[in-house]
């Protein structure tokens, strides 16, 4: 028991001594730093001859200054990371090239009579002479002419399992071919790209975001002129379309797809409509694209956050939100979102969604987290006029002309907080609260390196120096050696007493 306690007490004493030595070393290092640094306030803490209350006062003041410098600097760092840009308003319009609108055209009757018999025969093996043929004609017409917010027609077919076919391919197979004559003010030839939107099978032109919703993926040659632009001048910028059947037109940004919740323009045979549009564009200044998406607060078209969409746009992001909501409400997505993930609805599923049309329109009252586009254009109808041709060659054709007013203002996202501004703000905070400069922080680095290298040097010298080797002796052996020494001394004492008695001489 005693030997164990002896070694425990000895080890505890050694640790205490080591701890005290470390504390003394730290305090000494801190004192040296306070006396050597050029940062204001520190020298008052360690100056010789100061009362402890005075030192405490200066310690509190210096700590508050450090806290203030860190607080201001952290706020500037947060601004640099999260909001380094600002949207400015430009007005030097005379040199601008502005974008013309993208157009999505949807025929009111989206069933081609010549394609209908083959589509029915391929799926249900029913010929026009069959009594069931009108039933399938009605079903195909209901599917092809439906849109996301008008699905009431599926009620009649929701219990017929024979109709559980690929609705997407069915709509594509009966889609009528485009019969439109299009004239642009730039004399350019553009291609109408077939696409499946929330309004059904339609055609899109002048949109770089059409690739994801396109039925037939466009080639680079098909979209090489997208988006078309027009130069500010006295000449008007317009697009004219002539049709032979009733159709709805959606005007939208050339960097996006159509949103069918927005106002549409309907044109039918014998109607001649003139529409004048205003445009407000949003662009980006130099260096904005090099910023991270979170810092600039917007996305470019080629910065899709997922692998499903090849092109990013605000409306395609909202369509994805609606698709997820539809799956949550009815367990399936409408066939309009064929390019997105998830099970596709049958007629019963489409009938289920008809009861939630309002929820789908507002996304269930939840804001869809979609980043704005870095490049965008918003078109608004300013004035319109209509004229009906009752007789003559125009009575069988309809026409619509969209004229774009040259913009006199536009928004531009510019960087206002560069890395140099961050460094200046750090320096200003350090100088205001601590009176520090760049050299002050160099001195801190130099002081730390000097202490570290000095410590390493001393340890190296101790390792190289020749030291005395202490041999460990167990406690029992030490006690035996001690008793042996006592006995040896006792024996020598007795020998001296015997010699004194014999020779009569004193040896003490």
**What are the DSSP calls for 15-60, one per residue?**
HHHHHHHHHHHHHHHHHHHHHH--STTHHHHH-TT--HHHHHHHHH
Statement: residue 244 has pLDDT above 70:
yes
- Read off the pLDDT band of 284 (50, 70, 90): very high
Measured in whole angstroms, the distance separating CA 485 from the mean position of its chain's CA atoms is 84
Pairing of strands 398-404, 271-284: parallel
Q: How far apart are CA 401 and CA 239, in angstroms?
A: 6
Mean pLDDT of 118-125: 94
Q: What does the DSSP 8-state code read for residue 373? A: B
The pLDDT assigned to 480 comes to 76
What's the pLDDT band for 459 if we cut at 50, 70, 90?
A: low
Count of other CB atoms within 10 angstroms of residue 180 = 16
pLDDT of 1 higher than 50? no
Residue 6 has pLDDT above 50, yes or no: no
- Is residue 217 over pLDDT 80? yes
Helix (H, G, I), strand (E, B) or coil at 352: helix
Cross-strand bridge partners of residue 400: 241, 273
Whether residue 69 contacts residue 434, with contact meaning beta carbons closer than 8 Å, is answered with yes
Dihedrals phi, psi of 136, to nearest 5 degrees: -75, -30
Per DSSP, the residues of 209-257 read TTTTTBSSPPPTTTTTTPSPEEE-SSS-EEEEEEESS-EEEEEE-TTS-
pTM reported for the whole predicted model:
0.76
Checking if the pLDDT of 91 tops 80, the result is: yes
- Identify the CA nearest to 188 among candidates 227, 216, 153: 227
Q: Is 380 helix (H, G, I), strand (E, B) or coil?
A: strand
Cβ neighbours of residue 308 under 8 Å, at least 6 residues apart? 212, 320, 339, 340, 341
Interval 154-175: pLDDT, tens: 999 999 999 999 999 999 999 9
In the chain, DSSP finds a helix count (H) and a strand count (E) of: 13, 14
Average pLDDT, the chain: 86
Band of pLDDT at residue 279, cut at 50, 70 and 90: very high
222, 230, 236, 231: which is closest to 189 by C-alpha? 222
d(CA 284, CA 375): 7
Examine the pLDDT at 86 and tell me if it is beyond 70. Answer: yes
Residue 105 has pLDDT above 90, yes or no: yes
Classify the phi-psi angles of 82: left when phi > 0, otherwise alpha if psi is within -120 to 50, otherwise beta: alpha
Q: Which helix (H) or strand (E) holds 201?
A: strand 200-205
Find the helix or strand (DSSP H, E) in which 488 lies: helix 475-503
Q: What are 465-469's contacts with CB under 8 Å, separation 24+?
A: none
**Lookup: tokens for 377:** 């254009």
């Amino acid at each position: 028991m005693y030997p164990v306690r002896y070694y425990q007490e000895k080890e505890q004493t050694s640790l205490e001594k080591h701890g005290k030595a470390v504390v003394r070393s730290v305090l000494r290092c801190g004192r040296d730093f306070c006396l050597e640094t050029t940062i204001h306030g520190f020298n008052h803490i360690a100056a010789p001859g100061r009362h402890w209350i005075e030192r405490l006062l200066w310690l509190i003041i210096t700590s508050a200054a450090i806290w203030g410098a860190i607080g201001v600097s952290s706020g500037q760092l947060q601004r640099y990371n999260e909001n380094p840009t600002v949207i400015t308003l430009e007005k030097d319009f005379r040199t601008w090239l502005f974008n013309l609108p993208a157009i999505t055209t949807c025929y009111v009757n989206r069933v081609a009579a010549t394609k209908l018999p083959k589509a029915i025969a391929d799926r249900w093996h029913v010929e026009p002479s069959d009594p069931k043929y009108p039933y399938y004609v009605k079903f195909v017409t209901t599917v092809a002419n439906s849109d996301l917010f008008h699905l009431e027609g599926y009620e009649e077919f929701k219990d017929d399992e024979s109709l559980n076919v690929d609705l997407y391919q069915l709509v594509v197979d009966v889609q009528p071919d485009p019969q439109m004559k299009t004239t642009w003010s730039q004399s350019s030839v553009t291609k109408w790209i077939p696409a499946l939107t929330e309004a059904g099978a339609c055609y899109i032109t002048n949109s770089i975001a059409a690739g994801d919703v396109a039925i037939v993926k466009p080639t680079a040659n098909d979209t090489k002129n997208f988006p078309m632009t027009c130069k500010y001048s006295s000449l008007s910028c317009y697009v004219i379309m002539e049709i032979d059947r009733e159709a709805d037109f959606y005007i939208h940004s050339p960097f996006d797809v159509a949103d069918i919740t927005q106002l549409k323009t309907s044109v039918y045979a014998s109607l001649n409509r003139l529409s004048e549009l205003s445009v407000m564009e949003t662009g980006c200044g130099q260096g904005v694209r090099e910023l991270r998406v979170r810092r600039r607060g917007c996305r470019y078209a080629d910065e899709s956050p997922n692998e499903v969409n090849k092109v990013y746009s605000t409306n395609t992001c909202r369509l994805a939100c609606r698709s997820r909501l539809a799956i949550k409400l009815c367990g399936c997505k409408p066939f309009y979102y064929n390019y997105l993930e998830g099970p596709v609805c049958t007629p019963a599923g489409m009938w289920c969604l008809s009861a939630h049309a309002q929820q789908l329109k507002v996304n269930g009252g939840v804001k869809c987290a979609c980043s704005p586009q870095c490049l965008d254009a918003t078109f608004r109808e300013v004035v319109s006029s209509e004229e009906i041709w009752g007789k003559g060659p125009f009575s069988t054709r309809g026409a619509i002309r969209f004229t774009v007013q040259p913009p006199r203002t536009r928004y531009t996202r510019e960087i206002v907080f560069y890395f140099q501004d961050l460094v200046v703000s750090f320096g200003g905070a350090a100088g205001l609260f601590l009176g520090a400069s760049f050299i002050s922080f160099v001195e801190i680095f130099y002081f730390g390196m000097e202490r570290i290298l000095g410590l390493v040097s001393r340890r190296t010298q101790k390792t190289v120096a020749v030291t005395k080797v202490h041999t460990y002796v167990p406690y029992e052996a030490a006690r035996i050696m001690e008793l042996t020494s006592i006995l040896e001394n006792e024996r020598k004492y007795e020998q001296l007493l015997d010699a004194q008695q014999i020779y009569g001489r004193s040896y003490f």
